[in-house]
Amino acid sequence: MKHLRIAALLAAAVLALLPAPAQAATYPDPVRITGQQIIHDPTVIRLNSGEYAAYSTGGVIGARLSADGRHWNDAGNAFASPPSWWYQYNDTGDPWAPDISYRAGRYWLYYAVSSWGTNHSAIGVATSASGRPGTWTDQGKVFSSETTDSWNAIDPAITSAGGRLWMAFGSYWTGIRMVELNRTTGKAISGATVHHLATRPDAPYAVEGPYILKRGGHYYLFASYDACCAGVNSTYKIRVGRSTSVTGPYVDSAGRSLLSGGGDLLLAGHGRYVGTGGQSVFRDRGQDWLAYHYYDAQDAGTPKLGLNRLAWTASGWPRVA
């Protein structure tokens, strides 16, 4: 018995020296919403009227409206019909991944037109005094890419920095890029330098859907990594890096460059919430909110709207709350 007790004590001592088993990452569920929940690649804003608007991929830029940010109603589309120039980029005039912002007394809605698997793509812009569906006037093409380019002009995201206007964009084709825009027209300046912000070291360089948020002395680049658009088989997840310059270099909290595959994991699929991505950030009553889509594993993989408040650590990094 003495030998057994000694053996047990030795075994316990060895186990105490071993590293603890890795714990699976846990993420908070999105806030509960009601009404029309189906959405893909959402961009959300609180309008000057006090109403919330969400625009998305689907339809002629699908629209949702809400009085409180929790109960959402289908509000049709941004446009009654596709502008004719969209058909240069796909046969159905199908727009993708809009981005809404407010500047110079009006709302600006950027969007992409393209076809799956090609970088023959373009980003356009429309303006509105109210930001409501049905009030948008298309202003035409902002920037484009062709099959000879190493970037893809989709997934626009607009940010201001130092009195200048910038547009991040990109998907695969070496990842996330950025160009400067003319503040008056909202379109790419002539001969704009195409800056490189993020990519992956492994083909097919699966990073896309940028969004850039200015907070304190840093610009934060949020992007979607891995595969979307496959329902419950989607592997989308959201990563983030930051820079003191809007054009980079962007690094994660360990100092790894986002041009070398870095990026802190902010949100990944969990439970019924599969393939979290297509994200944007909006500010409401002094709080930052992350808007994204997920594929509902309890509803045949239907894409739905996810909303989570963003909290910030003492060292200045976002986390999903």
Q: Is the dihedral of CA 319, 229, 41, 149 positive or negative?
A: positive
| Mean pLDDT of the region 25-49 | 96
| pLDDT recorded at residue 2 | 33
pLDDT reading at 315 higher than 80? yes
C-alpha–C-alpha distance, residues 20 and 42, integer Å: 39
Task: Give the model confidence (pLDDT) of 107-116 as tens digits.
Answer: 999 999 999 9
Fold classification of 39-320 is Tachylectin-2; Chain A (2.115.10)
Amino acid residing at 70:
R
Mean pLDDT (the chain, rounded):
92
pLDDT reading at 142 higher than 80? yes
Q: Specify which residues 239 forms β-bridges with.
A: 223, 265
| pLDDT recorded at residue 26 | 87
pTM above 0.75, yes or no: yes
| Mean pLDDT of the region 3-30 | 49
pLDDT reading at 16 higher than 80? no
Determine contact, residues 99/80, Cβ cutoff 8 Å: no
Give the total residue count for the chain.
321
Q: What percent of the chain has pLDDT over 90?
A: 90
| Mean pLDDT of the region 30-39 | 98
Catalytic residue, from 208, 264, 288, 296: name it.
208
Task: Give the model confidence (pLDDT) of 153-163 as tens digits.
Answer: 999 999 999 99
- Of the pLDDT bands very low, low, confident and very high (cuts 50, 70, 90), residue 25 is low
pLDDT reading at 277 higher than 90? yes
Active-site residue flag, 138: no
Task: Give the model confidence (pLDDT) of 143-153 as tens digits.
Answer: 999 999 999 99
Active-site residue flag, 288: no
3-class secondary structure for the chain?
A: CHHHHHHHHHHHHHHHHCCCCCCCCCCCCCCCCEECCECCCCEEEECCCCCEEEEECCCCCEEEEECCCCEEEEEEECCCCCCHHHHHCCCCCCEEEEEEEEECCEEEEEEEECCCCCCCEEEEEEEECCCCCCCCEEEEEEEEECCCCCCCCCCCEEEEECCEEEEEECECCCCEEEEEECCCCCCECCCCCCEEEECCCCCCCCEEEEEEEEECCEEEEEEEECCCCCHHHCCCEEEEEEECCCCCCCECCCCCEHHHCCCEEEECCECCEEEEEEEEEEEECCEEEEEEEEEECCCCCEEEEEEEEEEECCCCCEEEC
Give the single-character DSSP code of 8: H
pLDDT reading at 6 higher than 80? no
Catalytic residue, from 41, 94, 138, 288: name it.
41
Q: From its phi and psi, is residue 130 left (phi > 0), alpha (psi between -120 and 50) or beta? A: alpha
Selected residue with higher pLDDT from 7 and 304: 304
pLDDT reading at 256 higher than 90? yes
